[in-house]
Amino acid sequence: MSVRELEAGRLTDAVAKLYVQACLVLPEPVKAKLYAFGNPYIIENFEKNGIIPLCQDTGMAAVYLEIGQDVHLTGDIPAAVDEGVRRAVKEGYLRSSIVADPLRRTNTGDNTPALLNVELVPGDRVKVTVAPRGFGCENKGRIAMLAPADGVEGVKAFVLETAKLAVPDACPPVMIGVGLGGSFDRAPALAKKATLREEPNPDPFYAALEEELYQATKKFSIGVHIIAAPTHIAGLPCAVSIGCHSLRYASEVI
């Protein structure tokens, strides 16, 4: 078995490029959903793509690395990712919004550190995704540790309640990500990742639930995506992550 060597500096280049791109240009699937929603002011804003950031809150840099098991990354991976964020903020004139401590509130000055998520996958490539997370919508995320007896009706009630609470402050129309299962920490990560998915759930059961929730929220949402994971027999974690209409992300495989 051959192992591909990849210098961590390649991550720096990719993150720097993708972060600026994500802040300036909406992904085509998100544009299509906004066209369907039909708000002319939002459309006018994103049609100025590539010129100015879509939102003044250029976000916390959520960076997703899907690392092939046949790749050997050489160098300091977190440092390489942070350097990419640092470079993007400088070259793209992005806002520095990260504080080094949640209570003492000193700004780091370069929007680092990134929020780094790593997943091992088959293959010898690395998929890099940068998803700036503004906190107008991030602050509206919620988790409920439901009981198994709450079932699908409990999930639907919590998702709808959270979505309605979020709308006034989360720059609607919103994308609703739902994470089910896992544990207290896993469900919110799944929910946030769900906001980035472009296709309906491949499981017909969850695809139907996504459509039902979308029909209940389509006055203020552009979609509902669900990611489910195995969980404990005694639990039903349910997390909701909100993405504003400037649902920004960009990806590259290196």
Euclidean distance between CA atoms 243 and 221, whole angstroms: 10
Residue ranges of the chain with per-residue pLDDT less than 70: 1, 49
Considering only the C-alpha atoms of the chain, give the largest distance between any 2 of them, rounded to a whole number of Å. Answer: 54
| pLDDT for the residue numbered 42 | 86
Q: What is the DSSP letter of 246?
A: S
Q: Where in the chain is the domain with CATH 3.30.1330?
A: 136-243
| pLDDT for the residue numbered 49 | 66
Q: What is the DSSP letter of 152?
A: H
The token pair at 190 is 């799944």
Those residues whose C-beta lies under 8 Å from the C-beta of residue 203, and which sit 6 or more positions away, are: 228
Q: Strand, coil or helix: what is 236?
A: strand
Domain 136-243 listed as CATH 3.30.1330: yes
| pLDDT for the residue numbered 158 | 98
Digit-coded pLDDT (tens) for 152-206: 999 999 999 999 999 989 999 999 999 999 999 999 999 999 999 999 999 999 9
Euclidean distance between CA atoms 51 and 24, whole angstroms: 7
Residue for token digits 């300091």? 76
Is the Cβ–Cβ distance between 249 and 130 less than 8 Å? yes
| pLDDT for the residue numbered 232 | 98
| pLDDT for the residue numbered 1 | 66
